[in-house]
Amino acid sequence: MTQNLILGAGLTGLSTAAHAEVDVRVLEATPFIGGKARTRKRPGARFDITGHWLHLRDEQIQHWVEQLPGLTLSRHNRKARIFSSGVYTLYPFQANTYGLPPTVARACLQGFVDARLHDVELGTEAPRRSDPVTFADWIEQKFGSGIAEHFMFPYNEKIWTVHPRELSAAWCESSYIPIPKVEDIIAGAVGASREALGYNTHFLYPDDGGGIEGLAQAIKRTLTVEIECERAVACIDLAKRQVTTVDGEIIGYHKLVSTMALSSLIDACAKGGDLPAEVAQARRLLRSTTVSHLDVLAKGSNHDLEGPWDGSGQPHWVYFPERQFPFYRVGSFSAVEPKMTDGDTRNFYVEIAHRGKRRVEDEVDNCLAGLAEARLIDGVDSVLAVHVEHVPNAYVLQDPNYQTSRTVLLDYLAKHHVLSTGRYGNWEYSAMEDALIHGRKAAQWLNDG
């Protein structure tokens, strides 16, 4: 019997199953549901797979999430900071230079003014700047050389593992990078900025101390279909429309929705039959980073840090652009929801990006020393436990080959009745809400017969 199959029970797969009006089977590789939006229960605390803060903008999805059974979300106003030159400043860096050493603040402000004056002074008669080609061009045009040098270049090189000049400018116009107005930059230089800049000024988070997995569990409660866990698909025969699971079951499908990483999906298809040369080449060109994270439990309760803001408690997360810190970002679950730890403790995620070859296990001492230097923990002796975990394909690299390769692969799959979707299936940079929306669209595709 042929049916519709969904590969993966992360948020995209679960949302697809929840919105589908036709029969589906859901195969999940791991023993767990939730995918990246899962929570690990460790002695004394719960840890999401690094920060997973929920931002909802789509009204329909918002309404759907609100009425999911057994899920209560609290709203939090973002407390994000940057630690550089030994001081804390408010996020985003580009609009908050107050508190930085005067030479740095001046370079940032002057660079920004020069970048903005460039077009104004040239007027409409003079040749305008060409459109940015690389992410580095875009940064320099939008923010100027000072902000580029002191934050945008070093921070982005840490998170993407390559210099912004190796990435394409095409994705930057998304709403993820806040572009402050001139008045915000001026206010931020004199210590009069607003916290609420950018796309994620507030977020939602489960209030029961169980972590973000509560969202996936709540969707699961609405399903009539059983999720088949530990049923990884190893091989896909596109011509015969069949998948083979690792335990050897061959399952025919009418339509296939895959939420596994696009790279792994194509590898599974290659095991089921020869791929056209163009497709094999496009697969080789896909690049992504691995994010390794330290889950850290430390003694002591949440405390405020000194900085140019009115004592508003421990930051939810902090960006670290400087190279002497191995990590690019550190966040605290307990700073958002104290019930994420048991007792008088705090828990953190510490994120390091690389391309799969870095032995992050050897960098734990260095990382803990960095946390102590930034005063996030009360010295390395206050640490009670550390666990290291890895997230492959965490961020896809939008380099000059990205758009073409991705289109070749997605089109090829579509011709074979396969919809590859979700953040990793669609090989994109997106958030949990997008995963829920992808699922809704995938279900429409299934419902359309």
Ligand X SMILES: Cc1cc2nc3c(=O)[nH]c(=O)nc-3n(C[C@H](O)[C@H](O)[C@H](O)COP(=O)(O)OP(=O)(O)OC[C@H]3O[C@@H](n4cnc5c(N)ncnc54)[C@H](O)[C@@H]3O)c2cc1C
The least distance separating ligand X from the CB of residue 236, rounded to whole angstroms, comes to 9
The least distance separating ligand X from the CB of residue 203, rounded to whole angstroms, comes to 8
Beta bridge partners of 347: 297
Both tokens assigned to 382: 């206050």
The least distance separating ligand X from the CB of residue 16, rounded to whole angstroms, comes to 9
CB of 157 within 8 A of CB of 163?
Answer: yes
Pick between residue 52 and residue 150 the one whose CB is nearest to ligand X.
Answer: 52
Pick between residue 36 and residue 79 the one whose CB is nearest to ligand X.
Answer: 36
Distances (CA, A) of 200 to 77, 78, 92, 249, 269: 9, 7, 11, 44, 38
The least distance separating ligand X from the CB of residue 420, rounded to whole angstroms, comes to 10
Distances (CA, A) of 178 to 85, 338, 380: 22, 29, 34
The least distance separating ligand X from the CB of residue 37, rounded to whole angstroms, comes to 4
Pick between residue 29 and residue 294 the one whose CB is nearest to ligand X.
Answer: 29
The least distance separating ligand X from the CB of residue 103, rounded to whole angstroms, comes to 34
Alpha carbons 341 and 293: distance in angstroms, whole number: 18
From the list 231, 65, 242, 84, the residue with the least C-alpha distance to 149 is: 84
For residue 299, give the H/E element and its range: strand 288-299
CB of 333 within 8 A of CB of 347?
Answer: yes
Find all residues with CB under 8 Å of 316, minimum gap 6, and list them: 51, 53, 76, 78, 79, 80, 331, 332, 335, 336
Residue type, 440: R
Pick between residue 275 and residue 435 the one whose CB is nearest to ligand X.
Answer: 435
Both tokens assigned to 72: 């209560």
The least distance separating ligand X from the CB of residue 23, rounded to whole angstroms, comes to 18
For residue 295, give the H/E element and its range: strand 288-299
CB of 219 within 8 A of CB of 225?
Answer: no
Pick between residue 143 and residue 160 the one whose CB is nearest to ligand X.
Answer: 160
For residue 117, give the H/E element and its range: helix 102-122
Pick between residue 271 and residue 375 the one whose CB is nearest to ligand X.
Answer: 271
The least distance separating ligand X from the CB of residue 120, rounded to whole angstroms, comes to 37
Binding site for ligand X (CB under 6 A): 7-13, 27-30, 35-37, 50-55, 232-233, 259-260, 264, 291, 391, 394, 422-424, 430-432, 435
Beta bridge partners of 296: 348, 386
Pick between residue 13 and residue 99 the one whose CB is nearest to ligand X.
Answer: 13
Alpha carbons 402 and 397: distance in angstroms, whole number: 7
Helix (H, G, I), strand (E, B) or coil at 78: coil
The least distance separating ligand X from the CB of residue 283, rounded to whole angstroms, comes to 16
Instruction: Name the DSSP letter for residue 1.
Output: -
Pick between residue 35 and residue 132 the one whose CB is nearest to ligand X.
Answer: 35
Pick between residue 150 and residue 316 the one whose CB is nearest to ligand X.
Answer: 316
The least distance separating ligand X from the CB of residue 297, rounded to whole angstroms, comes to 19
Pick between residue 150 and residue 438 the one whose CB is nearest to ligand X.
Answer: 438
- For the chain, the helix, strand and coil percentages under 3-state DSSP, each to the nearest 5: 35, 25, 40
DSSP 118-185: HHHHHTTTSPPPPPP-BHHHHHHHHH-HHHIIIIIHHHHHHHHSS-GGGSBGGGGGSTTS----HHHH
Pick between residue 241 and residue 423 the one whose CB is nearest to ligand X.
Answer: 423
The least distance separating ligand X from the CB of residue 150, rounded to whole angstroms, comes to 24
Q: Burial letters for 259-292: b for 16+ Cβ neighbours within 10 Å, e otherwise?
A: bbbbbbbbbbbeebeebeeebeebbeebbbbbbb
Pick between residue 91 and residue 112 the one whose CB is nearest to ligand X.
Answer: 91
The least distance separating ligand X from the CB of residue 241, rounded to whole angstroms, comes to 16
